A = this chain, B = another copy of it.
């Protein structure tokens, strides 16, 4: 004052480590065990192949609508690899490969996409929440979980995912603000894939980056090349370290791209150009990581092929397995289970109604 420029305390940074050709910046290269690197590679390939298979199944009417993740494998896998198993993950709905990394079976995914609530019980309990369809609503849960963990003096952090579109929801704002005020150990990981269905990033918000939104909350923010799994891993690991040290939340923006449709109900050609798609295909996270690993002598052509085959076999087995399991699923009466811890009388009565209808069997005559 009287007329001055305000200097913003928190740093907003940008990070990239391996470029689109697979060339690494040695100074920034994180030290990661070879196993972890290979596991990540395998998980990325699995994510991509599974997506392709799900698309085929959807087109054959063997699953319902689903949101593909192709192109974003580095963004969610790089992040989730930086937390521990008993840390928490609070997903949106476009992190399938990360869910699988955390122990969700492919079977569970397939069963869920067939509209079976049973999907939720296919995997052992864990510290991953179910996907959240209402955009942006899950981040607040991450704050509550993070706060609770600290209150319980348990050394856990929470990684929550959301898209570029989600940053427009009021819930994003409230979650970021609460997390900062309460210094909750939360990593807010935005998969900025440039689109929210048909709305481009540029129409979603006028801010130049998503990362700078952290300034509104007095929180550090970083914009990362989201197709560079090492950069995502490094940025997340740093944020995790801060969170564990009691230094509160971080916003990590991963700049990435959704290579396929929003969901299988969507036709992206209505709103985006082939050229744009081609530009981003050139930045595909998988070949780039492959090149890096080859240069590092961790991968060979042969090993790549072997991984590819193993992954396909795993997917095939899961499809078979899921389709077999589903044969015994879907008891209509199960819709009354888990409404409450104890079934209240009116629900017991409604369940009996349905049971009687089912017992009477078949149709009474009219068209369904």
Chain A residues in the interface with B (C-beta under 8 A): 1-6, 8-9, 11-17, 25, 28, 168-174, 177, 180-181, 203-209, 211-213, 215-219, 223, 225
Q: Which residue, of A171, A181, A215, has the highest number of chain B Cβ atoms within 10 A? A: A215
Whether the Cβ atoms of B223 and A206 lie closer than 8 Å is no
Which residues of chain B are near A12, meaning CB under 8 Å?
5-6, 8
Whether the Cβ atoms of B218 and A204 lie closer than 8 Å is no
Q: Name the residue on B nearest A170 (C-beta).
A: B170
Whether the Cβ atoms of A8 and B180 lie closer than 8 Å is no
Whether the Cβ atoms of A211 and B6 lie closer than 8 Å is yes
Whether the Cβ atoms of B13 and A4 lie closer than 8 Å is yes
Q: Which residue, of A9, A11, A25, A212, has the highest number of chain B Cβ atoms within 10 A? A: A212
Given contacts A169-B170, A173-B172, contact A181 B205 (CB under 8 A): yes
Whether the Cβ atoms of B218 and A208 lie closer than 8 Å is yes
CB distance from A166 to the nearest CB of B (A): 12
A219 to B208, CA, bound (A): 10
Please name 19 pairs of A and B residues whose Cβ atoms are closer than 8 Å in the assembled complex, sorted by A: A2-B17, A5-B13, A5-B14, A6-B13, A6-B212, A8-B8, A8-B215, A169-B170, A170-B170, A172-B173, A173-B173, A180-B207, A181-B205, A205-B216, A205-B217, A206-B218, A208-B218, A212-B216, A213-B215
Which residues of chain B are near A204, meaning CB under 8 Å?
181
Whether the Cβ atoms of A181 and B206 lie closer than 8 Å is yes
Q: Which residue, of A170, A172, A206, A225, has the highest number of chain B Cβ atoms within 10 A? A: A206
A64 to B47, CA, bound (A): 63
Q: Name the residue on B nearest A234 (C-beta).
A: B3
Which residues of chain B are near A212, meaning CB under 8 Å?
6, 8, 215-216
Q: Name the residue on B nearest A199 (C-beta).
A: B181
CB distance from A69 to the nearest CB of B (A): 24
A171 to B218, CA, bound (A): 19
A173 to B15, CA, bound (A): 27
Task: Pick the residue among B15, B207, B219 that contacts A3 (CB under 8 A).
Answer: B15
Which residues of chain B are near A16, meaning CB under 8 Å?
1-3
CB distance from A212 to the nearest CB of B (A): 6
A307 to B209, CA, bound (A): 52
Whether the Cβ atoms of B168 and A174 lie closer than 8 Å is yes
Whether the Cβ atoms of B207 and A216 lie closer than 8 Å is yes
Which residues of chain B are near A172, meaning CB under 8 Å?
173
Whether the Cβ atoms of B207 and A218 lie closer than 8 Å is yes
A168 to B170, CA, bound (A): 9
Which residues of chain B are near A208, meaning CB under 8 Å?
6, 8-9, 218
**9 closest residue pairs by CB, A with B:** A170-B170, A173-B173, A206-B218, A216-B216, A1-B16, A180-B206, A213-B216, A207-B218, A215-B215
Task: Pick the residue among B171, B206, B223, B225 that contacts A219 (CB under 8 A).
Answer: B206
Q: Name the residue on B nearest A174 (C-beta).
A: B170
Which residues of chain B are near A6, meaning CB under 8 Å?
12-14, 208-209, 211-212, 223
Q: Which residue, of A2, A15, A28, A204, has the highest number of chain B Cβ atoms within 10 A? A: A2
